[in-house]
Amino acid sequence: MKTINPATGKTISEYEETPFSEIETIIERANSAQRSWKEESFESRATYLKKIAELLKDRKQALAELMAEEMGKPLSQGVGEAEKCAWVCEYYAEHAEKFLSEESVETDATKSYVAFNPLGVVLAIMPWNFPFWQLFRFAAPALMAGNGALLKHSANTTGSALMIEEIIHQAGIPKDLFRTIIVDNEHMKPVIQHNGIAAVTLTGSTRAGKIVASQAGESLKKSVLELGGSDPYIVLKDADIQKAAETCVTSRLINSGQSCIAAKRFIVEEPVYDEFLEAVKEEMSKKTVGDPFDDQTEVGPMARVDLRDELHDQVQRSINAGAKPVLGCEKPTGDGAYYPVSILADVTPGMPAFDEELFGPVAAVIKASDEREAVTLANNSEYGLGAAIFSGDVEKAENLAANYLEAGCCFVNSFVKSDPRVPFGGIKNSGYGRELGLYGIREFVNTKTVWVD
């Protein structure tokens, strides 16, 4: 299994796959460690999580360099990712005990309440695009709840996976409680279905989610899935167009456009369509594409050449179906998995740019005749992860976001983001279950009724 620098195409490292016999031993030891870990107090567990946070902050530059090398993330964004991981560790260190405290329920019993107990060892199958954040937003609440964890990361971020394990162990977490395994996706079924795995969480594609959910379901294991997204950003005619354009472009190009909750479809009311399109073109044209190790770079290479080529195919098929190329849309020659910042205008349902997830720096701009059609177009998707709406009438926009947009995370006059304090996740083909906040830490616990006569 190889990791390849997407900026140069050169091999960074090669790794041997972990044999299944070794994985079985790892799972057995993880369960033994978890049985001891669950007896630790919340205060004790919090001490370890705070130490992890310190190490993440101390090493943030080195971690950013590792992400830049393995998957092309610009350095400043990698530093921000490491800092956010520290935040989620600190957040759950502070709040986990309150979130999982017993809840009294009035019944005809002498005493009745709900208790929250850890499930055991949870398998985390993680993607390459946010190699540290995706893991820590699961691991921080899972560990604080008293669970153990097994990490299977994407092949091209194996170095990040091993570094995560090193940091967690250096913080004092028992070594058997958290382990990284190196396994090809095709060989994961026996791991998922192993009796020592209590539950599974996956962040990845919808296709991967369906496979993992099916395999976990065969063994009646709890699963949480955070999958793809084609987030709609509605721009109403009363919006601040310049601010909306700046926010939409920022969201579209986060992580070089490789984010499940990046803005994907800009749905604009007809009276301001041309103005918005011009503003978006101006903002996107300013962005610097280049070496992720260059501090001036805002958009790095895509993570792999095959992903770049798949994106370009979607762009070309959309153009062939009638979309208008406004910016970029040409595949570069030369080394690296680079793709230009691009805009497709006049996108309509039936085009790949509307129906599929564009996982790269390409914006699809869509015209809506009015507010009602804008919402209809936004919801006309197999995905339902995030959505945003821009309007000068905040009360109206809030009502649309809260009651009419079909997504797990809806933002008004801002771009969609994950935050440790609020739940995160999707509906439809964007998955199920929630991470973060109160609801995230309660995903991998036994919500137990206790009744005393």
Residue with tokens 């919801």: 379
pLDDT value of position 195: 98
pLDDT value of position 86: 98
**Among 89, 248, 260, 329, which one carries the catalytic annotation?**
260
Q: How sure is the predictor about 39, in pLDDT bands with cuts at 50, 70 and 90?
A: very high
The mean pLDDT of 116-140, rounded to a whole number, is 98
pLDDT digits (tens, 9 = 90+) for 165-223: 999 999 999 999 999 999 999 999 999 999 999 999 999 999 999 999 999 999 999 99
Alpha-carbon distance values, 166 to 8, 37, 161 (Å): 27, 18, 9
Q: How sure is the predictor about 29, in pLDDT bands with cuts at 50, 70 and 90?
A: very high
Query: How many contiguous H segments (helices) and E segments (strands) does the chain have?
Result: 15, 20
pTM: 0.97
Residues 1-24, buried b or exposed e (16+ Cβ, 10 A)?
eebbbbbeeeeeeeeeebeeeebe
pLDDT value of position 292: 97
The mean pLDDT of 284-294, rounded to a whole number, is 96
pLDDT value of position 228: 93
pLDDT digits (tens, 9 = 90+) for 233-259: 999 999 999 999 999 999 999 999 999
Q: How sure is the predictor about 369, in pLDDT bands with cuts at 50, 70 and 90?
A: very high
pLDDT value of position 412: 98
Alpha-carbon distance values, 273 to 234, 245, 277, 381 (Å): 11, 11, 6, 21
Q: Is 186 annotated as catalytic? A: no
Q: What's the rounded Cα separation, in Å, for the pair 102 and 116? A: 7
**Among 226, 269, 298, 357, which one carries the catalytic annotation?**
226
Count other Cβ atoms within 10 Å, centred on residue 114: 13
Which residues pair with residue 121 across a beta bridge? 148
Q: Is 226 annotated as catalytic? A: yes
Do the bridges between strand 383-384 and strand 427-428 make them parallel or antiparallel, or are there none, so unpaired?
antiparallel
pLDDT digits (tens, 9 = 90+) for 54-109: 999 999 999 999 999 999 999 999 999 999 999 999 999 999 999 999 999 999 99
pLDDT value of position 244: 98
The mean pLDDT of 299-318, rounded to a whole number, is 97
CA neighbor of 141 nearest in space, from 210, 180, 199: 199
- Tokens representing 241 are 């167009």
Sheet with 342-345, strands from edge to edge, namely 324-327, 342-345, 362-368, 263-269, 231-235, 386-390, 409-412
User: By the 8 A CB rule, do 380 and 348 touch?
Assistant: no
Residue percentage of the chain with pLDDT more than 90: 100
pLDDT digits (tens, 9 = 90+) for 319-340: 999 999 999 999 999 899 999 9
Q: Considering the domain 231-419 in this protein, what is its CATH number?
A: 3.40.309.10
User: By the 8 A CB rule, do 359 and 339 touch?
Assistant: no
Considering the chain, what is the average pLDDT of its residues?
A: 98
Three-state SS string across 119-157, please? Answer: CCEEEEECCCCCCCHHHHHHHHHHHHCCCEEEEECCHHH
- Cite the beta strand spans of 239-375 per DSSP E: 263-269, 324-327, 342-345, 362-368
The mean pLDDT of 130-153, rounded to a whole number, is 98
Architecture of domain 2-227+430-452: 3-Layer(aba) Sandwich (3.40)
Residue 271 per-residue DSSP state: G
- Tokens representing 9 are 């195409």
Structural domain boundaries in the chain = 2-227+430-452, 231-419
User: By the 8 A CB rule, do 49 and 92 touch?
Assistant: yes
